[in-house]
Structure 1
Amino acid sequence: MKLKFIPFSLLLLLSFGISAQTELECKTKLSNFHVATKSKKYDAAYEPWLYVKNNCPDLNLAIYADGEKILKHKIETSKGEIQLSYVNAMLDLWLLRKEHFKSDTPEGEFDTKACQLQYDYKDELGKTSIELFECFDVAFNADEENFTHPKSLYTYFSLMVELFDEGKKSSAELFKNYDEVNEKIELEIQNYSEKINALVEKVDNGGTLTSSEENKKSAYESYLKNYSLIQGNMNIIADKRAKCDNLIPLYTKDFEVYQNDSIWLKRSVSRMYHKDCTDDDLYEKLVKQYDKVAPSADTKVYVATVLFKKGKDDEAYKYLEEAYKLEKRPYKKANIALRIGTILKEKGQYSKARNFLSEALQLNPSNGKPHFYIASMYAESAKDKSCGKDNFHQRAVYWLAAEEAQKASRIDPTLQSSVKAYVANYLAKAPTKEEIFLSGLSGKTIKIQCWINRSIKVPKID
């Protein structure tokens, strides 16, 4: 009987030896490919990485973090069937990572990466738009918190638009998708704005940013720029498909079902407001219901827009002030102040508008839009005779407008191209060098009168 167990014992020892040897080799190759990856020598890293992935998939998270970089390089430097094999290898890698390191593989991040890669190579993979949309839709609904990449948010929405245009999605589905994605973008903009504001506050208090903080600030600004860009593109696309003629029947039909749903009411009111469908009786009906179901700073602003339409400006202004007082969170309060400022600007109440826009700047200093709006109000007042005693002093307002607009681009990189065009326009309308010379005011500071009540230095000429 003992002799029968000898081969089995030897087999156990042999298998143990192979396992130990494999583990040792995996650790050695792990070190090799990790060092190579850090040096961006991805081709050299590929073979040792592949061995570790195939033989010890649960050894270290670096198998997946580095593997992603290695396969990304392989995809970018190959073509045809070989490239496609690396695309599929990347998709398999994310599935394997979820299997062995589930807690370190948030669905909203990695499932979205998989969806985006399939979208990027949809023709090669034979993927349809409906398949790809469903891929993103599942990822978004499963883990919205970690579904944050700007490109993927835009892809998700653009697929919905494509399906809507093909008659495969309804108007209600399109607007719902737009609202969800847009709200997510707003949340990310708030997140990065608050991070930048914390760094700005440090500098304002006399501190100096470390090199790490400078890098973070640049990264945050980059994300803000990308989010703002895709949000702008989404608005253009949605606006072409959201007309009062189709919004009003849609919301009228759905009102009875959703009249106590605060989210539906908020989205409906917001869309009608931004599409300027506020003359229709439905808008007032939605606003009043929204204020009844979920009274908030937002609802007070919308009520104010109804009152302005009816010519009840004094009552409307009280609602705006109430809205501002209700909101306590700095970022949200800044947005309320910005909205109130823009409403008052459109009403021609420039002094009150500037007060709210200035409050918005203090609460959210990384948003340059208030500077931009203040600059435009200055420019619009340039022909106001009460702002200057003569043509020269009135047109000097354009220097003030240009100066204010430039502040916007300095703090908000998303506005640089727009600001550049407006500043050039303002300066072209300001007094010429010849006029400065003849005025005798070169290099002197002059006072702008009227509601502006600011001073500006006349450019010095030789």
Structure 2
Amino acid sequence: MKRKAILVLAVLAMTIGNSAFSQMADDCTITGSLFVEPAKAKNYTEAIKHYDKVVTECPKYSLATYQYGEKMFKHFIKNGDKSMLPKLIKNYELRLQHYPSKTKEGDVLGDIAQAMYDNDMGTKEEQFAAFDKAQKQDPENFTSPKGVYTYFRLAIELQESGKKDLQDIFELNDILIDKIEGKENDMAAILKQLLEKQENGTALDKKEEKKLNAVEKNLESYGKIKGSINSLLGSLADCDNLIPLYEKQFDEKKGDINWLRIAAGRLNGKDCETPLFVRLVEQLNVLEPSARTLLYLGNIAQKEGNSSKANEYYNQAVDLETNPNKKADIYYRLAESARKKGSFSTARNFYNKMLEVKPSAGIAYLKIAQMIASSSNSCGSTPFEKRAVNWKAANFADRAARVDASLASNARAAASSYRQRAPSKSDIFNQGMAGKTVSFNCWVGGSVRVPNL
């Protein structure tokens, strides 16, 4: 009898508990809807009346709470109510707390930092620290072009006011440029696949068209931001500043491999003419022979006019290098060496290898375009065929513009110039070549489709 009573009480307790839980869920549905529905309709004056109750009593009601909360607070701030800024930041923090698996930490931390900067909240040091937190805690997802730029701009301002060392600025610049170029490479690889599909005569579906537009827009944004960051660095990274800085530090730092790498890299990047560069490279080669030291030895040989020895060093360096951007730089040097000698086929091979490791290297496409256009007299057996090679050159220049915003203007101008040299509409009509294919038996190879009239 006693056991029956206990069983009855247990069942009753479970029933009451389930009922209470169900009631709580129902209450949260009502409370959540009172906020979400007007917020969805952009009736933020009504929505905000219910926001505090939702995040206090039903913080895990829905991710939409924080998504609409962000839009709501941004609306009020945009319209002049700065008192909403702490609430916006708290909204971001609550989203991170309650929906970590559905939230990119670096992205949201970057949004917090940007909100602080845009609304002049806190000191420059506090704003920088907020961006620094996003970069250090989740660098993979801190990728906003605007955020990356603001982060570096704050670093420059702190350096100018004596609150950051010049060396810190150089190191941060390297980190952010690597980040941007990594994103550019990812997007350029996608772009290349879509462009090749188009060039092969296959139409893109709506999803692919949307992806193509998004990728090109992002590539343009990152290209502009990279240029802006380099502009911010400006004269700070000129040889006049670098040489005395590193000469002063050399004796103290000559046993620090990381410092030697950075110093040599900076002087090399700026083509600084100084005996210090040779000393840095020799010391680095003693402590850590690597692809970097071989590259620098190649640069020294190149400046001395020994291109054969330089290429020997470059070929050794490219085999050892694992960083895609640095590997691309070596391929570019090898390509340029071959191009200047008139070995266009060899040069193209190196430019293509450069593109394999760095798909966003628009300069490689542009150089190939220049070589193709300069070969018109030796490609083709008729005047029409010789001029037709310019269409192929224009296609490469177009691709350069689409993957690299930093040279888009020059690349588009080059493409236009090449097309003006190609056969005219009357040439196409008179030769009966509209829509036909012209093949090239010279080093250029491949073919080009003549435009339809």
The change in CA–CA distance for 1:458 and 1:209 in structure 2 (over 3 A counts) is: closer
Q: Distance in 2 between matches of 1:461 and 1:115?
A: 53
Which residue of 351, 364, 367 corresponds with 1:373?
367
Given residue 71 of structure 2, which amino acid in structure 1 is its aligned partner?
K
Of 311, 314, 318, the match for 1:324:
318
Q: Deviations over 1:66-92 (max 9, x none)?
A: 32233233333x22xxx2122221012
Choose which of 221, 224, 228 in structure 2 pairs with 1:229.
224
| 1:136 matched residue in structure 2 | 131
Shift of 1:180: 2.4
The whole-number CA distance in structure 2 between the counterparts of 1:139 and 1:410 is 30
State the 1:287 CA deviation: 2.9
Distance 1:190-1:32 versus aligned 2 partners, 3 A rule = farther
Measure, in 2, the Cα distance between the counterparts of 1:210 and 1:145.
Answer: 30
> 1:310: which partner in 2?
304
- Matching of residues 27-106 of structure 1 within 5 Å: 27-31=29-33, 33-34=35-36, 45-76=47-78, 78-79=79-80, 83-101=81-99
Asked if 1:147 is matched to 2:142, the reply is: yes
Provide the rounded CA distance (Å) in 2 between the counterparts of 1:409 and 1:461: 24
Alpha-carbon separation, structure 1, partners of 2:311 and 2:303:
12
Q: In the alignment, which of 88, 107, 110 is matched to residue 108 of structure 2?
A: 110
* Aligned partners of 2:261 and 2:284 also within 8 Å: yes
Q: What residue in structure 2 maps to residue 6 of structure 1? A: none
| Preserved CA contact (<8 Å) 2:185 2:359 | no
Decide whether the 8 Å contact of 1:324 with 1:336 is kept in 2: yes
Which residues of 2 match residues 221-260 of structure 1 at below 5 A?
221-260=216-255
* Contact 1:448 1:454 (C-alpha < 8 Å) held by counterparts: yes
The structure, 1 or 2, with the larger RCO (C-alpha pairs under 8 Å, 6+ apart) is 2
Tell me the CA shift for residue 227 of structure 1: 1.8
> Which one-letter code corresponds to 2:54 in the other structure?
V
Name structure 1 gaps, 5 residues minimum.
1-15
Query: Cα deviations across residues 297-344 of structure 1 (Å, max 9, x unaligned)?
Result: 444333221111122211211222223333568787555434532455
- Cα gap change, 1:346/1:303 in structure 2, threshold over 3 Å: closer, same or farther? farther
How many Å separate the matches in 1 of 2:283 and 2:363? 31
Provide the TM-score with structure 1 as the length reference.
Answer: 0.74
CA contact (8 A) 1:402 1:422 kept: yes
Task: Measure, in 2, the Cα distance between the counterparts of 1:460 and 1:160.
Answer: 51
Stretches of structure 2 that go unaligned for 5 or more consecutive residues are: 1-17
3-state SS in 1 of match to 2:296: helix
Quick one: which of 276, 300, 303 aligns to 1:282? 276
**Does 1:419 find its partner at 2:411?**
yes
Report the Cα distance in structure 1 between the residues aligned to 2:287 and 2:198, rounded to whole angstroms. 43
Q: Distance in 1 between matches of 2:170 and 2:389?
A: 42
RMSD: 4.6
**Mapped partners of 2:445, 2:205: distance in 1:** 36
TM-score, normalized by length of structure 2?
Answer: 0.75
Deviations 1:210-232 (A, max 9, x none): 75565445434433332222111
The CA deviation string for residues 223-272 of structure 1, in whole angstroms up to 9 with x for no partner, is: 33322221112122323322212101112222344445444333323322
What residue in structure 2 maps to residue 120 of structure 1?
A: 118
| Distance of 1:195 and 1:425 partners within structure 2 | 27
> Using the alignment, how far apart are the partners of 1:198 and 1:425 within structure 2?
26
Q: Do 1:442 and 1:459's aligned partners in 2 also have CA atoms closer than 8 Å?
A: no
| Matched AA of 2:319 | K
| Number of equivalences | 432
Q: What letter matches 2:111 in structure 1? A: K
Alignment-derived partner of residue 295 in structure 2: 301
- Distance of aligned partners of 1:262 and 1:227 in 2 relative to their CA distance in 1, 3 Å threshold: farther
Structure 1 counterpart of 2:59, one-letter code? P
Alignment of 1:356-395 (within 5 A): 356-362=350-356, 365=359, 367-378=361-372
Shift of 1:21: 6.3
Cα gap change, 1:163 to 1:84, in 2 (>3 Å): same
Distance in 2 of aligned mates of 1:307 and 1:91: 55
Residues in 1 aligned to 2:364 and 2:87: alpha-carbon distance in whole angstroms: 48
State the partner residue of 1:158: 153
Q: Distance in 2 between matches of 1:53 and 1:381?
A: 68
Instruction: Give the residue type in structure 2 aligned to 1:72.
Output: K
Alpha-carbon separation, structure 2, partners of 1:113 and 1:400? 44
Query: For the structure 1 residues 389 and 58, does the alpha-carbon distance in structure 2 shift closer, same or farther, using more than 3 Å as the test?
Result: closer
